[in-house]
């Protein structure tokens, strides 16, 4: 494609494409293409000027050649993120604002006053009608204030004043709508589904492939605890599907053959074979936007108080207008009170503060599903941690394999990996990784696998029942035995490791020793949490008492409990909530899901089980637990910003009312300054809290 280099420094190019203007679709296609070029670290595309800014590392010639090779006709379809980039939304609202401004000020220059007066009178009917509708419903809302202000101006023959008021109201409404939609879209993009690999059913065999390789019509297998990666129809199996991400309802729905399921929902129980109907992910983005706009989950208590206060102030504004008129008999001074209402600033600035905090959280790889969860983090006194994959590293490793049967250790590891590869858990990943590192290829030798939450996996190989999991599951629930000649060897197993037990045909066949090292930052994070206001830090784990005590002593938690089941964690949280404490739960596994649901705020680790991420209210990246500290600071900062906004809104608007009543400024000036202050506070609320 033809282009000119407009400016260049080392590692940075600004180029102009030889066309008048790009469409939004062309700009998104180009941006997506640029990000896929080797060495490109960041890029921006300006559709109005047909310019692009490219930052890169490596060879300049490779970037130049990539730009030459680009053409719109051969550009690949953009991803869901690019398709919902917000570029078209910004264009629509920019053009709307420009059109409103040109019509208002251009009309004053080129249209006779009589024609403008008639147009203003006709246009005022819409605003007056809205006010009357509000009164008919028995409500005193902001529309009543607008109707009175415009109606009085028209009645007094002050058409320029009425026209200016309607223009400012229109601009304010456009800016409010634009700001809200942009904030919602930013949030929705941060929540959009990111699926890495899926089990593709090919010629009767399950093959693990990147999600990008799946096409419409392919069949994929989705098991318990996994997110459904695509929209599609169930062609086999049945499952209980959690559709909270789409509908907001926590209760799972039964899905059977020929039923339709949506990307982003989660298989809580069962297993399905899904025929893919939609792979682009665009529908997922649209559903998330709809959920955010409709769901009460988004609203924090602070937002609710702001809306309630805004509605309550309307009668007082009308009363103040009446008093000023009664005392001064000056319509301009009375209108000055009407022009400055507190409600629109309260209703706009508070939600924008929350949405902006959620957007900023995404910059730190933290996904927050609603404002009330940030507010709860700011108020929380108790925080509960799972151990494995949370306080310990998300990548445990196999240190040793002990065989308790005639098969060699490598064979037992191969069998364990064959079973474990189907389920997302840090221990399972350790087994699969160890087998891969040893070059142990494993075909699907087993029958259907069954996952028992917080216990283990059951299947059969060559007609023999095979189970792998915890000691409680293998020896107590399943009644497996250790052969007499192996018991002394069993007692000498190293205690410093976590143990995974593999049994075949009712007898212990192998023990896999897994090292689950503590995160380097765990102790520092626990100490910092206490400094930020947490009164109780608790660790709960299904691991043995010896390991739990050692970890608890190292990290410095206030309490710990070992060998707990999923319901035990949830029950502890319920007891804490009954005491009036706001509780946070941090976990990564399927067995943490009940506790994540029970807590005021459930925080999941990003590389943990998909069902944990879906059920959780907040997801943090697996790289560092310091993100919990960042989340706490962000939540506290959001609450400080909300309280500061209250003070600014009340202070500025009170001053404008006093100036208007004193006759220092005219009603139109009051309206202009009021809208400007509302916009200013809203724009300031969109800024980052931590930077």
Instruction: Give the pair of three-digit tokens for residue 675.
Output: 């809208």
Q: What is the pLDDT of residues 630-687, one digit of tens each?
A: 999 999 999 999 888 888 888 888 888 888 888 788 777 777 787 778 778 877 887 8
Q: Are 657 and 340 in contact (CB under 8 A)?
A: yes
Distance CA 293, CA 184 (A): 8
More confident residue, 492 or 177: 492
Question: Over 80: is that where the pLDDT of 590 sits?
Answer: no
More confident residue, 268 or 469: 469
In angstroms, the first-to-last Cα distance of the chain is 39
Average pLDDT of span 282-303: 53
Q: Are 439 and 446 in contact (CB under 8 A)?
A: no
Q: Are 459 and 448 in contact (CB under 8 A)?
A: yes
Q: Are 556 and 523 in contact (CB under 8 A)?
A: yes
Long-range Cβ contact pairs of 133-140 (< 8 A, separation 24 or more): 139/311, 140/311, 140/314, 140/315, 140/318
Question: Which residue, 480, 499, 490, is CA-closest to 543?
Answer: 499
Residue range 369-393+518-622 in CATH 3.40.50.1000: yes
42 membership: H or E segment, kind and range: strand 40-46
Local structure of residue 591 (DSSP, 8 states): G
Question: Which residue, 390, 385, 603, 422, is CA-closest to 516?
Answer: 390
Which segment of 54-58, 141-145, 355-359, 585-589 scores lowest on mean pLDDT?
141-145
Q: Outline where 159-277 has alpha helix (H).
A: 159-191, 244-247
Instruction: Give the pair of three-digit tokens for residue 689.
Output: 């809290």
Q: What is the three-class DSSP state of 439?
A: coil
> What pLDDT band is residue 78 in, cutting at 50, 70 and 90?
very low
> What pLDDT band is residue 194 in, cutting at 50, 70 and 90?
low
Question: Which residue, 388, 402, 398, is CA-closest to 435?
Answer: 398
Phi, psi of 220 (to 5 degrees): -125, 150
Could you give the C-alpha distances from 40 to 59, 64, 70, 600, 687, in angstroms and in order? 10, 11, 15, 42, 27
Distance CA 148, CA 153 (A): 8
Choose the most confident range, by mean pLDDT, from 120-134, 161-175, 308-322, 611-625.
120-134
Average pLDDT of span 237-254: 70
| Mean pLDDT rounded to a whole number for the chain | 81
Residue 425 confidence (pLDDT): 66
Q: Which CATH class is domain 197-280?
A: mainly beta
Question: Which residue, 540, 587, 584, 586, is CA-closest to 564?
Answer: 540
Domain 3-78, CATH among 3.40.50.720, 3.30.428.10, 3.20.20.70, 3.30.70.100: 3.30.70.100
Torsion of CA 155, 159, 164, 169, to 10 degrees: 40
Question: Over 50: is that where the pLDDT of 345 sits?
Answer: yes
Distance CA 474, CA 458 (A): 10
Domain 397-515, CATH among 3.40.50.10680, 3.40.50.1470, 3.40.1110.10, 3.90.580.10: 3.40.1110.10
Distance CA 463, CA 500 (A): 22
Percent of residues, the chain, with pLDDT higher than 70: 84
Q: What is the three-class DSSP state of 464?
A: strand
Instruction: Give the pair of three-digit tokens for residue 538.
Output: 């608790």
Whats the size of the chain, residue-wise?
691
> What pLDDT band is residue 628 in, cutting at 50, 70 and 90?
very high
Q: Are strands 498-504 and 450-452 parallel, antiparallel or unpaired?
A: unpaired
Local structure of residue 645 (DSSP, 8 states): H
Residue 105 confidence (pLDDT): 86
Question: Which residue, 581, 612, 585, 620, is CA-closest to 601?
Answer: 585
Query: What are the residue ranges spanned by the domains of the chain?
Result: 3-78, 91-188+298-353+638-685, 197-280, 369-393+518-622, 397-515
Q: What is the three-class DSSP state of 532?
A: coil
Average pLDDT of span 573-586: 93
Residue 307 confidence (pLDDT): 62
Distance CA 431, CA 415 (A): 10
Question: Over 60: is that where the pLDDT of 292 sits?
Answer: no
Task: Write the CB contacts of 510 (distance below 8 Å, at least 6 apart in sequence).
Answer: 401, 402, 403, 404, 405, 407, 409, 412, 413, 416, 501, 502
Average pLDDT of span 493-508: 87
Question: Over 90: is that where the pLDDT of 248 sits?
Answer: no
In degrees, rounded to 5, the angle at the alpha carbon of residue 611 between the alpha carbons of residues 605 and 614 is 75
Instruction: Give the pair of three-digit tokens for residue 421.
Output: 């590869």
Q: What is the three-class DSSP state of 309?
A: helix
């Amino acid at each position: 494609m033809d282009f000119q280099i407009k400016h260049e420094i080392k590692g940075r190019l600004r180029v102009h494409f030889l066309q008048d203007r790009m469409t939004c679709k062309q700009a998104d296609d180009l941006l997506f293409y640029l990000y896929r070029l080797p060495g490109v670290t960041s890029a921006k595309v300006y559709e109005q000027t047909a310019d692009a800014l490219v930052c890169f590392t490596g060879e300049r010639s490779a970037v130049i050649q990539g730009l030459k090779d680009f053409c719109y006709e051969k550009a690949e379809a953009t991803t869901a993120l690019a398709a919902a980039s917000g570029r078209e939304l910004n264009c629509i609202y920019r053009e709307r604002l420009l059109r409103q401004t040109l019509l208002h000020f251009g009309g004053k220059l080129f249209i006779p006053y009589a024609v403008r007066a008639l147009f203003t009178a006709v246009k005022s009917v819409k605003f007056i009608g809205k006010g009357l509708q509000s009164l008919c419903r028995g409500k005193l809302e902001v529309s009543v204030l607008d109707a009175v202000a415009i109606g009085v101006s028209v009645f007094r023959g002050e058409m320029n004043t009425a026209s200016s008021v309607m223009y400012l109201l229109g601009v304010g409404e456009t800016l409010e709508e634009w700001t809200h939609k942009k904030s919602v879209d930013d949030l929705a993009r941060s929540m959009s589904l990111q699926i890495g690999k899926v089990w593709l059913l090919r010629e009767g065999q399950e093959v693990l492939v990147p999600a990008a390789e799946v096409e419409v019509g392919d069949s994929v297998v989705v098991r318990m605890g996994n997110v459904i990666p695509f929209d599609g129809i169930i062609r086999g199996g049945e499952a209980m599907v959690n559709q909270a991400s789409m509908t907001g309802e926590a209760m799972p729905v039964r899905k059977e053959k020929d039923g339709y399921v949506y990307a982003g929902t989660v298989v809580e129980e069962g297993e399905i074979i899904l025929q893919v109907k939609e792979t682009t992910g665009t529908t997922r983005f649209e559903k998330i936007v709809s959920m955010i706009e409709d769901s009460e989950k988004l609203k924090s208590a602070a937002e609710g108080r702001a809306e309630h206060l805004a509605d309550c102030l309307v009668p007082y504004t009308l009363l103040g207008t009446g008093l000023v008129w009664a005392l001064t008999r000056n319509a301009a001074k009375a209108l000055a009170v009407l022009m400055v209402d507190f409600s629109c600033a309260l209703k706009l600035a508070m939600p924008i503060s929350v949405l902006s905090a959620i957007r900023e959280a995404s910059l730190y790889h933290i996904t927050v599903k609603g404002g009330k969860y940030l507010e709860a983090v700011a108020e929380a006194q108790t925080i509960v941690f799972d151990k494995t994959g949370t306080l310990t590293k998300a990548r445990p490793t196999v240190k040793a394999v002990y065989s308790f049967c005639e098969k060699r250790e490598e064979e037992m590891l191969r069998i364990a990996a064959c079973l474990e590869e189907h389920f997302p858990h840090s221990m399972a990943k350790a087994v699969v990784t160890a087998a891969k590192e040893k070059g142990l290829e494993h075909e699907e030798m087993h029958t259907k696998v069954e996952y028992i939450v917080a216990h283990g996996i059951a299947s059969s190989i060559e007609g023999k029942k095979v189970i792998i999991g915890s000691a409680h599951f293998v020896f107590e629930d399943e009644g497996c035995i250790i052969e007499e000649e192996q018991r002394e060897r069993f007692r000498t197993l190293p205690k410093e490791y976590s143990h995974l037990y593999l049994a075949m045909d009712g007898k212990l066949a192998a023990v896999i020793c897994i090292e689950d090292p503590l995160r380097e930052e765990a102790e520092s994070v626990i100490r910092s949490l206490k400094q930020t206001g947490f009164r109780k830090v608790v660790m709960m784990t299904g691991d043995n008492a010896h390991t739990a005590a050692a970890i608890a002593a190292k990290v410095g938690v206030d309490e710990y409990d070992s060998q707990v089941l999923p319901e035990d964690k949830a029950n502890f949280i319920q007891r804490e909530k009954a005491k009036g404490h706001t509780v946070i739960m941090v976990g990564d596994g399927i067995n943490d899901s009940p506790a994540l649901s029970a807590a005021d705020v459930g925080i999941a680790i990003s590389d943990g089980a998909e069902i944990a991420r879906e059920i959780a209210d907040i997801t943090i990246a697996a790289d560092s637990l310091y993100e919990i500290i960042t989340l706490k600071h962000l939540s506290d900062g959001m609450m400080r910003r909300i309280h500061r906004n209250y003070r600014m809104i009340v202070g500025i608007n009170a001053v404008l009312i006093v100036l208007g009543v004193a006759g220092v400024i005219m009603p139109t000036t009051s309206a202009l300054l009021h809208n400007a202050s509302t916009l200013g506070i809203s724009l300031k609320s969109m800024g980052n809290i931590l930077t």
